[in-house]
Amino acid sequence: MSRRLDLAHMSESSLIPERQLLFSPALAATIGLEDAILLQHLNELFQHRKAENRHGYAWLSIERDWLLSTLPFWNAIDLHRISKSLADKGVILIGSPPLHEAEILLFAINESRAEGRTAAARSRAADSPASTPRSGTGLLSSHWSPSEDLLQLLALNHNLPRQFALDQLEDFIFYWRERGEISHAWENKFRQHVLSCWRRQQQDEAERFAAPKDEPITDCWQPSADALEIMLRTGVNRAFIDDAVPEFVLYWREREETVKTLNSKFINHIRRQWARYTSALSHDTEPRRIPSNWQPSEDVYDILRMSHIDADFAQQLLPEFIVYWKDSNLLHSSWNTKFLQHVKYKWAKGHQFTTSLDSSDAGQQRSHSTGSTRSRSLADDLADRSWAQ
């Protein structure tokens, strides 16, 4: 019997020759397995070694060789990589050179000493037999809430806002209480639930601001509200925009191309067409009858002023000019030009220099005259361009 016990003891020692390493599965799922092992291994040292309090943090110095002996599955480079990962996550503070170059690791858990004692008390309470949930007692409470440690780890490791995690708590409790399931790992389930909601929100935001997909234009395509606002703000008529849509759609459908920026192309198309349209209105060359209320443009009066012709003189000639051309029922593309010619002719005729009738120069002038004005009609006068020669 004694020999059998010794053999059993030897067998047990050969399988487990040294003290086991312990780590939290929830912590490993949050920050990674290697990070969780090293973090809890370092945290246990505070129970056996004296720390130095500096600036509200408990700093501890540990030999690299001791770490390598207690964690033989890692080398110095591994220890540096994992400790740096913990520091980058904000879990620990490091006050020594890189561990693969230095012989000492000087570190502190990134929490004040008061917070550390509170966290340690919670940890001891959670590990005590009295607080361990028994079979059948793991139904989620309606007042359940995640621990502060979990909220901090979510923020450090996933840059997840604390308020976002708390906003998911109500749905989490309602879902699991409706299912009536029993679990001893509600913290881990809540972490998975929050991360799933966070990734879904990040994906929705990415899709909202993603570049538009290449899709063929359809018959029912319409410019966006932003595009309409831009065009209307630049003075384009809404009816003009609506009339241009079918032509634009037909053009891109016949090209059989997919376009990402249809709204931008439509805005540019409308701007070009609107510029041509307004220019055509200002410089219309289609012959028309003169309207009864026709008025010469300001450009006509500007030209007359440059020719030192009184504007009132031109206004006095306007009624006669309109009556004549309405009665003639003729079409012209530019009534401004016709009126300008008529006014200049009348002005030149009324302001000719008169000389003596028996002057030889006057005789020469009369002999070179193209003809008596009495024998010419109003149409001949209006068509006369001698003033421009």
Q: What residue has token string 């450009």?
A: 299
Domain boundary among 225, 248, 282: 282
Q: Is residue 125 situated within a structural domain?
A: no
* Burial (CB count <10 Å: 0-12, 13-18, 19+), residue 83: buried
Q: Are residues 230 and 197 in the same domain?
A: no
Q: Are residues 308 and 277 in the same domain?
A: no
CATH at 24: 1.10.10
CA atoms within 13 A on the CB side of 124: 7
Portion of the chain with pLDDT greater than 90, in percent: 4
DSSP output for 160-214: --HHHHHHTHHHHHHHHHHHT-B-S-HHHHHHHHHHHHHHHHHHHHHHHSSPPP-
The DSSP 8-state label assigned to residue 321 in this structure reads H
Report strand pairing: 57-63 vs 215-216. Answer: unpaired
Give the pLDDT of residue 131: 38
Tokens read off for 155:
């923020």
Q: Are residues 163 and 250 in the same domain?
A: no
- What Å distances lie between residue 71 and 45, 60, 123, 268, 290, CA to CA? 14, 18, 23, 68, 103
Nearest-angstrom CA–CA distance, 40 and 121: 15
Q: Is residue 131 situated within a structural domain?
A: no
Q: Is residue 127 situated within a structural domain?
A: no
* 3-state DSSP assignment of residue 104: strand
Nearest-angstrom CA–CA distance, 46 and 50: 7
Give the pLDDT of residue 362: 47
Q: Are residues 23 and 71 in the same domain?
A: yes
Q: Is residue 134 situated within a structural domain?
A: no
Give the pLDDT of residue 356: 39
- H-state helical runs in 71-147: 76-88, 113-127
Tokens read off for 17:
């020759």
Nearest-angstrom CA–CA distance, 359 and 103: 127
Compute, in degrees rounded to 10, the torsion defined by CA atoms 213, 218, 223, 224. -50
Q: Are residues 244 and 335 in the same domain?
A: no
Residue 180's contacts (CB-CB under 8 Å, 6 or more residues apart) are 139
Domain boundary among 208, 227, 249: 208
Q: Are residues 265 and 230 in the same domain?
A: yes
Q: Are residues 311 and 352 in the same domain?
A: yes
pTM for the model: 0.32
Domain boundary among 157, 185, 208: 208
Report strand pairing: 92-94 vs 57-63. Answer: unpaired
Tokens read off for 113:
């000493």
In this prediction, the residues of the chain whose per-residue pLDDT falls under 70 are 1-19, 112-138, 208-216, 256-260, 280-285, 351-389
Please state the domain count of the chain.
4
Q: Are residues 36 and 85 in the same domain?
A: yes
Give the pLDDT of residue 210: 57
Closest of 63, 155, 58 to residue 110, by C-alpha: 58
CB 373 within 8 A of CB 349: yes
Nearest-angstrom CA–CA distance, 107 and 51: 10
Nearest-angstrom CA–CA distance, 125 and 128: 5
CB 290 within 8 A of CB 330: no
Q: Is residue 262 situated within a structural domain?
A: yes
Q: Are residues 309 and 384 in the same domain?
A: yes
Q: Are residues 32 and 100 in the same domain?
A: yes
Give the pLDDT of residue 352: 62
Structural domain boundaries, residue 237: 215-282
Q: Is residue 179 situated within a structural domain?
A: yes
Q: Are residues 202 and 219 in the same domain?
A: no
Q: Is residue 123 situated within a structural domain?
A: no
* 3-state DSSP assignment of residue 314: helix
Q: What residue has token string 């591994």?
A: 78
Q: Are residues 113 and 145 in the same domain?
A: no
Number of separate helices (H) and strands (E) present in the chain: 18, 6
Q: What residue has token string 């209006």?
A: 382
Q: Is residue 263 situated within a structural domain?
A: yes
Nearest-angstrom CA–CA distance, 221 and 244: 12
Taken in order 145, 149, 151, 153, the sign of the CA dihedral is negative
